[in-house]
Structures are given as structure tokens and as C-alpha cells.
Structure 1
């Protein structure tokens, strides 16, 4: 089942004559400085916002302005904004590559001043029935994608999985080489604040989705997954691969825990969040955005493993899509509450920002600070030195890559 929202019209905007100059390039007379930038990944995710944002209970018509941005995905070449530019939205395209490139394009576009903008990266995804049933707001995005893989009969009999980290010797080794794409931590204090805006009562359910979730109640470990839609504060696995099955899901669960020193709670899957964090952290270092204003939200449309008695392949491709429509609807409902909460409390709280009490950033601390995961363990959380760039290719050894 898929949900489509018809768009009634598009409205254009003409940029003012450029009179300012930065780095030798002309800038618009007044740059657009949204309070919230919604980051979506494909048409349904954007359409649910643009089709409903003009309602009285929302924040304004997102199609009031259309701003072309060079470098965005050709199918979605524009950023759309409300008439007062308080809220804007763009589509990255699905997957890591599209998302990183599109987000960098927006972050570095000189039509915008994004230094105080909250980036609400929101979309649908899979869920871990042990820990989540509908909306989740994350502290960590974990990306177990630079991996070794053995398939089918090639997997040794004593291996629990054919998928394990590069630099490791078996799935028992949860950590191998560290490339600094494995873990990103966002502002946990901001996460807590915006999660409180979403009440369970605003989320919707459907009889077919409720009946499907009931299958998971046969396993006590899946009690949460079988329950009604609710909001959870837990974390996301980012991977271009859409996976299904207990073996790989448990493997990623163990990986997430090991890489974050037991701090993460894996509850959802996504194909873009790690790329969004990567792009915005680099833009932060360049002085274009404030990485501590990144919010990661996913609503659950399906589960990452089958219910008791179901084959993994059926969970992957034959679940009937019963959770898709309510997942998309709840994405808007939850996102709308977050946006309204930020706008209503802008002068009192969000203009100044919510300062993180803990670490935010990557494992190599490219923006400074003391990582509390991966490489941060080497010296008990003291500042981490970034490895020197490798020498010429002829001297590069795989063993020279940073291991912990």
C-alpha cells in the first residue's frame, strides 16, 4: 500500500538583485535563513509535508516559494519554503550517495544562511521489534557498510554471519578498521527536547497494520514491536542495503552496541541518515551550519526481522506493505509537532539553541571535543589525534589503516 498526496500548485519566487559579495561571489540582497529545514529522501516523504503543511494545525504552505539549487538531484532540483521562509524542505534522492551530495549542495548554496537552522532529517524506515513500533528520535546513527561479505555456502560453519567489519577476521570481531564513517552522534539534549513535542496520541494506527504487528506478540522479546504506535528515543542503522533476518539484524545490533560503548539502542533502519550527518558535519567545520542542530527522526513501516514462523524473505518482500501508509502519515504528524514546537519556542529557546552537555560529532573529532565511542576509548575519552593522510598509493598498506 502506498500513499500519494496530490499537490495543487507550485509558486515561484524571484531572488533579489545581488549586491553583496562573499569570497568574490555575488550574494542575494537578503539570504534565506529558515528556522527549520526538512530533509526528505523521495517524493512521498516530501509530498506528505507539502500536501498538508498549509492546514490550520500546521506551520504554513511549503509551496509558497520555490528556490532552484544547483547540485540537487535532477528529479528534485528545488528547495521549497513557506512565505516567511521559516520552514523549508528538499528531497535528497534515496540512498547515501544522493543524500550526501544533495545535502552538501544545500549547505553550501549562497542563497541560504543556515547557521541557525535546525535540520530535521525525517523519513520512513524499518524497525527493530525488540525496541520500537513507530516514531523514533535518534542520538546515534551507525553505519556498518564498509564490510567483508561471504555469501551462502561460502560462509564457514563456525561463523554466525557472512558479514563482518573490514579488518576483522570473523563476525566475532565487532570492530576492525575505522574509516570515520561508522558512527555519528548528534545533540542528545536537543533530541530529548524535540521528542517531548510528539505525544503518542497524535500518531495514527490502522486495523491491517495492528493485525500484522500482533504476529510479533508470539515472541516476548517483540512485545514493544507488537504494541500500538508510540515515540521512542533510540538509534538508527544506516545502510544502502535493505536487509531482513534475525542473523544480520542481531549482528548489526551487536555492532551498534560495540561501536558506541554500549550507549546506543538500535531500533530503526534507514538508507540515508549517516550520509546526512556526514555532510552536515563537514558543512559545520566549514562554518556553514551548526551540526548540533541536526535532528534524526524515522517512522517505522516494516520490521527488520520476521515474526515467529515467518520466513525472512516473506518479511522482506511479501508483508503486503500494511505499515507504509500509517508510517508516512505519522512521519508528518510527528514532524509537524517538532516544527511547531521549535517555532513557538524560537525566541525563548531555539534561536539561541540547546547546548549539548555531551559529545557531538564523529569518531575522529574533526570538529573538536572528546568522543565517547570508538577511537575515544583509546585514551579514556581524551582528545583524539586524527591519522596522517596516507602516502603515495605505492606505499599504502591495508594494515596501515587505523584499528582499535
Structure 2
């Protein structure tokens, strides 16, 4: 009798503490009865979250405190939920009072991002099957396309680190025509398309959703930055670099290596074009995005998330190559010369990102819940066509899968 009373009291208290609890509908995706019978000894497991408590409409993904702060300062995240497996320095998911918007900080670099995103998406507390994920971080920028404070929304995320690398001292005499020591797996020439791939070299995102985010962000009043930013912009010859910040459709390069300079900038622009069959416009350099997208691709296969509801936004905190004044002094420019600070890029994360968040919340039932209006029409996913989304436009006709 006492146990029954305690159980009733617990449920009543839980419903009060979590107002969305009573609205929770079971997600029966991939429950046990959905698993086909098999006469082999292959054990297949199902994965559903019928007892999840929280169903956020939007999940904002930050990488470190500098990126999370504008969201925590401008939105009322009153709930903090500790999730096993998140970063030891960012162990909590922050959510609004009704749990409609949540924010998570995954840590910097590929490994931290992948580990945290996996822990988050597999948490039994959350049902992310209809959630929109928006990666919102800062990045280095290519002055041909962007300026300090610019806001970029990607269609492609390209991984630059999955290549062979030979130091300049070891190839410049034998291969004097090479402009870099990077070349693709399975090849012996920096200009060749990779013959061996891991599948994470390129991810393609929902173009229609990207365009909607760009449309909404373009009406935002962006932070133009500091006087130092303005002086740095004047040193460049590119019109894009000289301009004030704007919203740009262009693509992101992922690499744990924090690279800079004209040589590497030129090579990775070539690499981005090469592995997307000439369709990507590389403009931003970051460390985590392909890790995020790999996790979200895998989880989509099992109905845990919906890859079609993913947005990657990067704001430009610094130029990824020097202006002509420092073209022969890249190390000094990179390590000692101030570009005026990154305050504009941080402020613009919220200024440019909040319009799509608000649009999702305001038009949830009419537009976003079922995601029919902004359902992708382009190919989406990785090089393996894991999501079976149609004709792959980002790969060669054949390659060896490793």
C-alpha cells in the first residue's frame, strides 16, 4: 500500500516538474515487433524511445563556452539535464521551460564532438526524432567569400584531414611541381580523386532548409564588429573581405588541424571542389562538423534523429589567410597580428541563428512538425549513400570503401 502511494506521489511530482511530460506521445519507431524474423544466428536489436520524457523542437549545438554564451544569455534555459557521456566540462543539456529548445556544448575537435553527440542522441530521456539540430559555431574564413563577422550556412561539410601527408622537406626535390604534401588515399598525386574512402569525407545537407535559414537570417541586424576588424578588412583586395558582415551560402571544411596561409587555403579550396565534383564553395574552416554529421547520419538510419532537419551555421571569427601586406610573413601574422577580435562572430551566432529557431517554434504545427515544405530535394548524407536519398552527386563512379 505504501509503495503504491509513493509511486503515485512520484508521478504527480514528475508531471509538475516536467510540464511537457503529460504531452509526451510514445515513439514506437523500431520497436521489437518491427524487427524481421531471421533464421540465421545474426542477432538484430531494435531501438526506440517509447519512454522518453523530452521532445525538443530545436537543439542548438555549440562547441565551447564562447559559442554557448550568446544563447544562454539571450534565451531562458531554466532546466539543466546532466547526460552521461557528455563532455566532462560541459555535462549538461540546457532547455527552456517547456523543453521546446535545448542547447548542448559538445567540446572542441572531432573526438569530443562525436562522443558528445552520440551520448546525447542515445540518451533515453530524449526523443529527437522530429528535432531540428542547428550547429552554431565560429570558424576561420576565406576572404574571397566572407569577412570578419560573416554568417555562413553550409550545404556541404568537407573533411580535410582524411588524406596522406608528406612534409615539404621530403618531397620538394623529388616532386617539385607539388604545391602541397597532401594527397588523397589510394593515390600518389595531389590532383587525384580519392580511390579509398572512409565515407565521412563529404556530407551534403538539406538545401531547402539551408535556404530557409539563410532567408530568415538575412533580415537580421548583424553585429559589424570592432574598429580593429574594420582596419583588418581594409588590408584585403577581395570585395567580400572588405564588406561588412552578411549572410552567405557557402561550405565548411572540417579539420582538427588549425591551419592558416595561402598554400593550405588554396589546396583545401581545391580539395573541397574535387570531392564534391566541383559543386562546393569552401569558405569556412572548423573542427567538428563532419563528426556531428556522421553521428546524425547513423542515428537517422534507426529513426533516432532526422538528418533532413540539420543546419550547419558558422560565423567568421578570423581570416584563414593573410592579406597581401603579410603574404610573406604568415607565421607572424597568424601568431602576433590582431584581427580586431571575434566579438562580432560570437554575437552573430544568436542574431542570425535565432530567426530560424523562432520560425520553427511559431510554425511548428503548420510547417515544421512534419517537415513537408522544407523536405530535401537534393541528395543528402555521406559518400556511402547511407540514407538512400537518391542519386549521389558528391562521389566518383567507384571507389574502394575502407
TM score, norm. by length of structure 2: 0.83
Give the alignment partner of residue 350 of structure 1, picking from 338, 348, 368: 368
Does the 8 Å CA contact 2:317/2:342 hold for their aligned counterparts?
Answer: yes
**In structure 2, how many angstroms separate the alpha carbons of the residues matched to 1:365 and 1:257?**
19
Does 1:203 find its partner at 2:222?
A: yes
Q: Structure 2 vs 1, CA of residues 337 and 374 (structure 1 numbering), >3 Å: closer, same or farther?
A: closer
Does the 8 Å CA contact 2:183/2:189 hold for their aligned counterparts?
Answer: yes
**In structure 1, how many angstroms separate the alpha carbons of the residues matched to 2:189 and 2:59?**
42
- Tell me the equivalent position of 1:76: 90
Q: What is the CA distance between 1:374 and its match in structure 2?
A: 4.1
Give the alignment partner of residue 355 of structure 2, picking from 328, 334, 337: 337
- Tell me the equivalent position of 2:180: 161
**In structure 2, how many angstroms separate the alpha carbons of the residues matched to 1:227 and 1:36?**
32
Give the alignment partner of residue 39 of structure 1, picking from 48, 51, 61: 61
Q: Secondary structure at the match of 2:81?
A: strand
**In structure 2, how many angstroms separate the alpha carbons of the residues matched to 1:327 and 1:260?**
27
**In structure 2, how many angstroms separate the alpha carbons of the residues matched to 1:318 and 1:270?**
21
Does 1:306 find its partner at 2:322?
A: yes
- Tell me the equivalent position of 1:48: 70
Does 1:367 find its partner at 2:367?
A: no
Deviation digits for residues 257-313 of structure 1, max 9, x if unmatched? Answer: 111111111110110111010000001012100000000000001111111021221
Q: What is the CA distance between 1:45 and its match in structure 2?
A: 0.8
Does the 8 Å CA contact 1:148/1:163 hold for their aligned counterparts?
Answer: yes
Give the alignment partner of residue 88 of structure 1, picking from 88, 102, 105: 102
Does 1:251 find its partner at 2:267?
A: yes
Unmatched tracts of structure 2, length 5 or more: 1-16, 33-45
Give the alignment partner of residue 197 of structure 2, picking from 154, 178, 181: 178
Q: What is the CA distance between 1:378 and its match in structure 2?
A: 1.4
- Tell me the equivalent position of 1:67: 81
**In structure 1, how many angstroms separate the alpha carbons of the residues matched to 2:178 and 2:47?**
57
Q: What is the CA distance between 1:352 and its match in structure 2?
A: 1.5
- Tell me the equivalent position of 1:120: 134
Q: What is the CA distance between 1:28 and its match in structure 2?
A: 8.8
Does the 8 Å CA contact 2:168/2:180 hold for their aligned counterparts?
Answer: no
**In structure 2, how many angstroms separate the alpha carbons of the residues matched to 1:200 and 1:159?**
44
- Tell me the equivalent position of 2:283: 267
After the TM superposition, which of the residue ranges 76-85 and 170-179 deviates more from structure 2?
Answer: 170-179
Unmatched tracts of structure 1, length 5 or more: 1-12, 54-60, 380-386, 388-400
- Tell me the equivalent position of 1:141: 157
Does the 8 Å CA contact 2:49/2:127 hold for their aligned counterparts?
Answer: no
Deviation digits for residues 178-212 of structure 1, max 9, x if unmatched? Answer: 11010000100000011111126511112211111
Does the 8 Å CA contact 1:175/1:258 hold for their aligned counterparts?
Answer: no
**In structure 2, how many angstroms separate the alpha carbons of the residues matched to 1:48 and 1:278?**
26
Does the 8 Å CA contact 1:197/1:338 hold for their aligned counterparts?
Answer: yes
Q: Secondary structure at the match of 1:49?
A: helix
Does the 8 Å CA contact 2:232/2:339 hold for their aligned counterparts?
Answer: no
Q: Structure 2 vs 1, CA of residues 167 and 316 (structure 1 numbering), >3 Å: closer, same or farther?
A: farther
Query: Which structure has the larger Rg?
Result: 2
Does 1:99 find its partner at 2:117?
A: no
Does the 8 Å CA contact 2:227/2:340 hold for their aligned counterparts?
Answer: no
Does the 8 Å CA contact 2:52/2:127 hold for their aligned counterparts?
Answer: no
Deviation digits for residues 95-153 of structure 1, max 9, x if unmatched? Answer: 00000110111111110011110001110000111112210000000002121112232
- 4+ long deviations beyond 4 Å: 13-17, 20-30
Q: Secondary structure at the match of 1:197?
A: helix
**In structure 2, how many angstroms separate the alpha carbons of the residues matched to 1:27 and 1:115?**
9
Q: What is the CA distance between 1:166 and its match in structure 2?
A: 2.0
Does 1:277 find its partner at 2:293?
A: yes
Does 1:320 find its partner at 2:327?
A: no
- Tell me the equivalent position of 1:384: none
**In structure 2, how many angstroms separate the alpha carbons of the residues matched to 1:73 and 1:193?**
31
- Tell me the equivalent position of 2:4: none
